């Protein structure tokens, strides 16, 4: 028996174990029928051929970690912003429309990196996966719940290696938190509080009245992609897309994918059953300056050393902090690297920073426990490269494989939905499997503020806010869960 065979046997065991630990509900639902026209990717013993889409910002950093491989094509809608990346990889073909790049080069590549604005992650990644290509997609995996479900199912169907860009998932902190909780070190967890100090980009805005001239170097229509058409303004891109509902997911999408991940993984969360959101002024166009979301998760299967009872997760952003845990030293900031996560257990309180960094117990005790998880010795991007090169039948999934990242991202995207439905003044009940709310009364309507018309006239405050017409709340909710795309842009249906 060759070395190779025994390695495969090991990998097979490793895969099963890792899936057992990390598997989200979607992978469990997924059947095994693979598309006859697209066989699963074969194992590779050469460099990956990679296409990058959305390379001017975070994409540039991801590509730098992938320079062991061959970067053969690059696409960015903004050739000025992305110029430094095009220059770094002169051998790569340049595009400003990913559809053209895909039509010319998708069949030549093994893998695609997506680091565009949130609203185009799903449509780009779905096409790549359907062609049997491995994908690395920046967090948030998608802007909406349906899109996360879709990518999870497509990845399972086409057996590609996947990674969401929440790099903390490959870090030591997340493993340690799981090990401590699963060993019963803090007892049963019934409450988790989390926060981020973001947004640091503009939010709480109305749509700019002024139309600006589209720079020659920008493919504005390409940036909009599936989003409804709107005139160009330099406030949207680069970077600030985060704060606009049509393109981003606010502070939640930006930071909850890092901050909440240890809770999702260590507490084996799947779908919430109830959710409520509230915020500072909620406008039609742009995310609010600060938000609070309360999720309720049902009891999960108990683990050998710890039960997993019903749980409340509270999320805060925009500078609002959760209550300080009793016993936390006066003067100690909870904020570590952009936020924090506090697990309230029946025996102790566990606190960590963003990305799961620097976990500690409030009691000061330092648990010594057996380590259950695979230690990830490569960085987040290289561990995905490793997974891409393995045979799908024995592949050890990367730390943020879509089997976990998809259901996790649904949790994050649900927070956005709850905030946007706050005008219903009710706790929303969620049927996760069927992606629908079950208790919005038939005929209920909702409206949202277009213009915050507060002003002082002759020393008197006046409130002349402008709202949308009331719209059917169930339909509004459905649109938040599964977006309606601009003509010409189509997202695949769920394969299962």
Ligand X SMILES: NC(=O)c1ccc[n+]([C@@H]2O[C@H](COP(=O)([O-])OP(=O)(O)OC[C@H]3O[C@@H](n4cnc5c(N)ncnc54)[C@H](O)[C@@H]3O)[C@@H](O)[C@H]2O)c1
**Minimum CB distance to ligand X, residue 136 (Å):** 10
Region label for 286, one of left (φ > 0), alpha (ψ between -120 and 50) or beta (otherwise) = beta
**Minimum CB distance to ligand X, residue 247 (Å):** 8
Nearer to ligand X, 86 or 360 (CB): 86
**Minimum CB distance to ligand X, residue 180 (Å):** 25
Nearer to ligand X, 97 or 452 (CB): 97
**Minimum CB distance to ligand X, residue 491 (Å):** 14
What single DSSP character describes residue 319? Answer: T
Nearer to ligand X, 237 or 279 (CB): 237
- The strand pairing partners of 294, in sequence order, are 276, 314
**Minimum CB distance to ligand X, residue 79 (Å):** 9
Token pair recorded at residue 40: 């699963």
Nearer to ligand X, 208 or 367 (CB): 208
- The strand pairing partners of 93, in sequence order, are 73
- The strand pairing partners of 460, in sequence order, are 457
**Minimum CB distance to ligand X, residue 90 (Å):** 18
Cα 187 from Cα 349, distance rounded (Å): 9
Query: What sign for the dihedral angle of Cα 259, 263, 268, 273?
Result: negative
Nearer to ligand X, 242 or 389 (CB): 242
Nearer to ligand X, 183 or 249 (CB): 249
**Minimum CB distance to ligand X, residue 164 (Å):** 9
DSSP H or E segment with residue 457: strand 454-457
**Minimum CB distance to ligand X, residue 75 (Å):** 5
**Minimum CB distance to ligand X, residue 223 (Å):** 5
Nearer to ligand X, 246 or 390 (CB): 246
Residues 6+ apart with CB under 8 A from 424: 440, 444, 446, 473
Q: Of all residues in the chain, what percent are helix, strand and coil, respectively (each to 5)? A: 30, 20, 50
Give the footprint of ligand X on this chain (CB under 6 A).
Answer: 53-59, 75-78, 81-82, 98, 115-118, 120, 138-139, 165, 167, 222-223, 225, 237-239, 254
CA trace torsion 169, 318, 419, 271 (10° rounding) = 20
In this structure, are residues 128 and 52 in contact, taking their beta carbons and an 8 Å threshold? Answer: no
Nearer to ligand X, 34 or 79 (CB): 79
Nearer to ligand X, 346 or 379 (CB): 379
Cα 403 from Cα 152, distance rounded (Å): 6
Q: Is 366 exposed, middle or buried (0-12, 13-18, 19+ CB in 10 A)?
A: exposed
Cα 205 from Cα 210, distance rounded (Å): 14
Cα 491 from Cα 146, distance rounded (Å): 10
Cα 486 from Cα 46, distance rounded (Å): 40
Query: What sign for the dihedral angle of Cα 469, 473, 475, 477?
Result: positive
**Minimum CB distance to ligand X, residue 266 (Å):** 20
CA 206 centroid distance within chain? 25
Residues 6+ apart with CB under 8 A from 125: 112, 114, 135, 137, 151
Nearer to ligand X, 112 or 308 (CB): 112
What are the backbone angles phi and psi of residue 62, rounded to the nearest 5°?
-65, -45
Q: Could you check whether the bond before residue 234 is cis, i.e. omega within 30 degrees of 0?
A: no
Nearer to ligand X, 252 or 446 (CB): 252
DSSP H or E segment with residue 446: strand 445-446
**Minimum CB distance to ligand X, residue 319 (Å):** 20
């Amino acid at each position: 028996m060759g070395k190779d065979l025994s390695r495969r046997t090991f990998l097979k065991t490793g895969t099963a174990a890792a899936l057992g630990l990390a598997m989200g509900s979607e992978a469990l639902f997924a059947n095994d029928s693979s598309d006859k026209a697209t066989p699963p990717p074969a194992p590779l013993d050469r460099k990956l051929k990679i296409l990058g889409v959305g390379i001017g910002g975070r994409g540039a950093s991801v590509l730098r970690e992938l320079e062991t491989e061959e970067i053969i094509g690059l696409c960015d809608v903004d050739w000025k912003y992305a110029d430094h990346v095009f220059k770094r990889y002169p051998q790569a073909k340049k595009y400003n429309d990913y559809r053209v790049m895909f039509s010319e080069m998708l069949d030549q590549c093994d893998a695609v990196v997506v680091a565009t604005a949130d609203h185009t992650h799903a449509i780009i990644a779905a096409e790549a996966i359907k062609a049997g290509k491995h994908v690395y997609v920046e967090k948030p995996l998608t802007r909406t719940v349906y899109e996360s479900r879709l990518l999870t199912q497509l990845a399972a169907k086409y057996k590609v290696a996947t990674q969401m860009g929440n790099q903390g998932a490959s870090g030591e902190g997340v493993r340690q938190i799981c090990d401590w909780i699963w060993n019963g070190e803090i007892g049963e967890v019934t409450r988790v509080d989390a926060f981020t100090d973001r947004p640091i980009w503009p939010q709480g805005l109305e749509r700019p009245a002024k139309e600006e001239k589209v720079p020659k170097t920008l493919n504005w229509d390409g940036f909009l992609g599936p989003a409804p058409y709107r005139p160009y303004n330099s406030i949207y891109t680069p970077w600030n897309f985060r704060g606009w509902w049509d393109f981003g997911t606010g502070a939640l999408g930006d930071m909850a994918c890092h901050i909440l991940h240890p809770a999702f993984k260590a507490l084996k969360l799947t779908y919430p059953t109830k959710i409520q959101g509230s915020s500072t002024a909620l406008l039609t166009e742009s995310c609010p300056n600060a938000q609070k979301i309360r999720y309720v998760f049902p009891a999960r299967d108990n683990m050998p050393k710890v039960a997993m009872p019903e749980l409340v997760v509270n999320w805060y952003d925009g500078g609002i902090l959760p209550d300080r845990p009793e016993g936390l030293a006066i003067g100690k900031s909870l904020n570590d690297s952009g936020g924090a996560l506090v697990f309230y257990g029946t025996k102790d309180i566990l606190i960590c920073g963003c990305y799961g960094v620097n976990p500690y117990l409030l009691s000061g005790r330092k648990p010594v426990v057996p380590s259950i998880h695979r230690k990830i010795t490569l960085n987040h991007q290289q561990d995905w490269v490793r997974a891409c090169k393995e045979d799908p039948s024995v592949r050890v999934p990367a730390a943020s494989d879509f089997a976990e990242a998809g259901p996790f991202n649904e949790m994050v995207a649900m927070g956005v939905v709850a905030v946007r439905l706050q005008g219903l003044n009710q706790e929303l009940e969620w049927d996760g499997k069927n992606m629908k709310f079950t208790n919005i009364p038939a005929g209920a309507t909702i409206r949202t503020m277009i213009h915050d018309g507060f002003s002082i006239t002759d020393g008197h405050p006046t409130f002349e806010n402008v709202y949308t017409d009331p719209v059917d709340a169930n339909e509004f909710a459905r649109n938040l869960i599964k977006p309606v795309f601009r003509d010409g842009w189509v997202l695949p249906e769920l394969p299962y």
